[in-house]
Structure formats: C-alpha cells, structure tokens
Amino acid sequence: MTIFEKIIAREIPADIVHEDDLCIAFRDVSPQAPTHILIIPKKVIPRIGETTGDDQSLLGHLLLTAGNIATDLGVNSTDSGFRLVINNGKNGGESVPHLHIHLLADRPLEWPPG
C-alpha cells in the first residue's frame, strides 16, 4: 500500500482541500511553491502511463477537479495562474507510484522545467 492509499484511508493525516467519490486532493508535504496541491484518484493506478480507455472519464474528472480547486484557491486567472504536472517514471521524477496531479501556484514558475 502506498502512502497515498494510507491518506485516502485516513491512516495518516493530510491537509485535505477536496474530496469526492472519485478523488481526493491535499497539500503536498514538501511544497515546491506556496500553493502545492496533489489531486489523486481513489482508484489505485500507479501512473498516467498505465491508464487505459476505461479511465477516460476518471482522468477528465481529475483535470476538471484541478481547475475547480485552482478557482477555489483564487489562482485561476491569467494574472495569477497555476501549473499542473504529472511525473511518470524515473526520468519523469515520479517518487510515489500512485497517479497524482501536482497543482503549483502562487509564484512564477520557470520554463522549461528542470
């Protein structure tokens, strides 16, 4: 069981900002920006590269939820803005093998990423 499954099961604490039937979102324990939220499906999926057509609506839900959270947190404007990131595998920087979308905001973010 990954650390994220334990957060879903409330076996370890997290600063949860959203929860619904399909997903949960909480603040990253090691924030890389003043606002750093992780949006994760409750379904156990290791990474985006292992999703299938069966996950189409779930993936759409995760993205819509990320946008809604950005709105709730006041960063969904062209003046402020935010970035969504999905790390996949070793070169992608994945460290927790449970699909998650990073939502980063409240500082200027460089491009290209490091």
Q: Which residues bind ligand DGP (CB under 6 A)?
A: 3, 14, 26-30, 38, 87, 93-96
CB 113 to ligand DGP: min, Å: 12
C-beta of 76 vs 87, nearer to ligand DGP: 87
Alpha-helix residue ranges (DSSP H) falling in 12-93: 56-72, 89-92
Structure token pair of residue 77: 């404007």
Q: Is 18 a catalytic residue?
A: no
Least distance in angstroms from the C-beta of 94 to ligand DGP = 4
Token pair for residue 8? Answer: 């879903």
Query: Pick the catalytic residue: 36, 98, 100, 102?
Result: 100
Min separation Cβ 63 and ligand DGP, Å:
16
Residues 107, 29: Cα–Cα separation, whole Å: 17
Tokens (6 digits) for 80: 């402020």
Phi, psi dihedral angles at 13 (to 5 degrees): -75, 155
Active-site residue set: 100
